[in-house]
Amino acid sequence: MTEEHQEGVSTEEGPVPVLRWDLGLFEQIVRSFRFPPEWDARYPAQNQTAADAPPGYITLFEDFFLQGNFRLPATNFMGHILHHYNFHLSQMSPPGMVRVRHFEFLCRAHGIEPTVEKFRAFYQLQRTMCFFSFASRGAAKKILLNPPKSFHDWKPKFFFIRVEVLPIAMCWTVL
């Protein structure tokens, strides 16, 4: 993976990192997760940021797949989470993805249909900088006992994919 560092584009809350991961890993994700050609997954141009998705495309992050067990097409439960909390998938952080997917896996493993109401019993929405995640709710029993400690350099590892891969209504929440 290339280690060259590039300057970010300034926003109100700090720089939006530009691309900093390699084409080989992107191509491996496309192959490993069997993205069909009609999804038109695109490796960004050299100076693009995650905020530069072309019209008709959304931004997804590498760690959604490699750390968060996210898969396409997205499940109905993921759509319900995004609809309830009223933010776009591109605005979720990988730690948020880990919590949503872990909760869904636990429910399904126990023969329970995951719902937003059940999810809310364990988690509450939190915002960190320009992204959304979920934190344990007060006295709720912890269900993710060993969450990943950190996600290093996840923001510059992104790609664009056709919005049709997520046939759910998502709105961009202005932070």
Residue 73 reports pLDDT greater than 70? yes
DSSP string, 31-56: HHTT--GGG--BPPPTT-BGGGPPTT
Number of domains in the chain: 1
Condensed to tens digits (0 to 9), the pLDDT of residues 77-103 reads 999 999 999 999 999 999 999 999 999
In a domain, 158, yes or no: yes
Mean of all residue pLDDT scores within the chain: 85
pLDDT band at 143 (very low <50, low <70, confident <90, very high): confident
Taking a C-beta distance cutoff of 8 angstroms, is the pair 56, 137 a contact?
A: no
3-state secondary structure of 18: strand
Residue 169 reports pLDDT greater than 50? yes
In a domain, 4, yes or no: no
Residues 114-132 as b or e (16 or more Cβ within 10 Å = b): beeeebbebbeeeeeebbb
In a domain, 175, yes or no: no
pLDDT band at 151 (very low <50, low <70, confident <90, very high): confident
12-21, 24-33, 63-72: which has the minimum mean pLDDT? 12-21
How far apart, in whole angstroms, are the C-alpha atoms of residue 16 and residue 29? 23
Run of H or E residues at 107:
helix 94-109
State the pLDDT at residue 9.
36
DSSP state of 171: -
In a domain, 151, yes or no: yes
In degrees to the nearest 10, what's the CA dihedral of 93, 97, 169, 21? Answer: 50
Residue 17 reports pLDDT greater than 70? no
In a domain, 25, yes or no: yes
State the pLDDT at residue 65.
94
In which domain, by residue range, is 57 found?
A: 9-165
Q: Are strands 14-16 and 9-11 parallel, antiparallel or unpaired?
A: antiparallel
Residue 11 reports pLDDT greater than 80? no
State the pLDDT at residue 145.
65
Token output for 8:
């970010």
In a domain, 148, yes or no: yes
pLDDT band at 152 (very low <50, low <70, confident <90, very high): confident
Looking at the chain, the whole-number percentage of residues with pLDDT higher than 90 is: 60
For residue 73, cis peptide bond before it (omega within 30 degrees of 0): yes
How far apart, in whole angstroms, are the C-alpha atoms of residue 5 and residue 140? 41
pLDDT band at 153 (very low <50, low <70, confident <90, very high): confident
